[in-house]
Amino acid sequence: MNEQIINNLYEFWSLIGLRLNNLAEADGYKAVSVSGSDWPNRIYSVINKKYTFEKILALSQYGKLPEFITLEKPCDYVNNSALEFMFGQKNMSVDLKTIKSDFLANENIFQVKTEEDSVDFAKTASEAFGYRVDEKLAFEVSRITEKVRMYIYKNDNECLGCGIVYFDTNNNAGLHMIGTVPKGRGKGIGKYMTEMLLSVSKKNGKDFCVLHASLMGEPIYRKLGFEPFGELETYRILKKILS
């Protein structure tokens, strides 16, 4: 199951890269480079070999690959001095057959369909996660309607939360970028968004729902029936100091 969880994330990033014509596929890794956005802008799908890892570091340090890299645990090379730890995530999954289908519809959650919605999504995600999400990129991703659904949570015309569901080729639904801005935290918005995405996944006939949980989000997902599997860690590749 862990492999399927990771595959959903990597497949989603690859789809974005293909859509934007900026996906790099090499022997031992993939990368999506996005100008003006920290998302997804990532090196991923890295094989655990020293030569590959050193090659990736060098290419990133000289600006030929993104500065962020996501690695599966365990990885033999994470203690490299060129890496700065950013955050870890738990790979989690739930069988959708075990999820009830009678979640109450939340009138504050809206699907992203317009450029204006995309601006709201990008601003909300950027504030919720503390990194840049480009509004034009968000709009482009929202148009991949056969695979992606993007949502925002609005109250009194103020956007407080966001979330994405991605349908992969294994018939699984991946929940991504479920976040709440600081002003909206403690109000159950993350739970409402997760329930909405679960409902959408179930209605679309998916087998499992998978996600990558932050430390803050993990308790919410456990209460909804998600079980943990492996872990991912994201690092920043530090630039070389040139003499």
Whole-angstrom distance between the N-terminal and C-terminal Cα of the chain?
Answer: 47
pLDDT at 243: 38
Residue 10 counted as domain residue? yes
Closest CA relative to residue 191, chosen from 208, 199, 183: 199
What is the spatial distance between Cα 17 and Cα 15, in angstroms, rounded to a whole number?
5
What's the total number of domains in the chain? 2
Q: Are residues 124 and 84 in the same domain?
A: no
Say whether both 71 and 16 belong to one domain: yes
Q: Taking the complete model, does pTM exceed 0.75, yes or no?
A: yes
pLDDT tens digits for range 50-85: 999 999 999 999 999 999 999 999 999 899 999 999
My answer on whether 10 and 117 are in the same domain is no
User: Which string of DSSP letters, residue by residue, matches 60-82?
Assistant: HHTTSS-SEEEEESS-TTTT-TT
Inside any domain, residue 243? no
Pair 108, 210 in one domain: yes
Clarify whether residues 82 and 192 are in a common domain.
no
Nearest by Cα to 68 from 81, 54, 82:
82
Per-residue pLDDT band for 220 (boundaries 50, 70, 90) equals confident
Looking at the domain assignment, is residue 76 inside a domain?
yes
Spatial separation of the C-alpha atoms in residues 152 and 164, rounded to whole Å: 9
- Give the CATH number of the domain where residue 112 resides: 3.40.630.30
Percent of the chain residues past pLDDT 90, beyond the cut? 89
Structure tokens of 236? 């920043």
Mark whether 100 and 83 lie in a shared domain: no
Tell me the two tokens of residue 146. 């056969």
- Residues 19, 137, single domain; the answer is no
Domain around 70: 2-88+232-237
150 and 222 assigned to the same domain: yes
- In Å, what is the CA distance from 118 to each residue of 11, 22, 135, 142, 155? 22, 21, 6, 8, 17
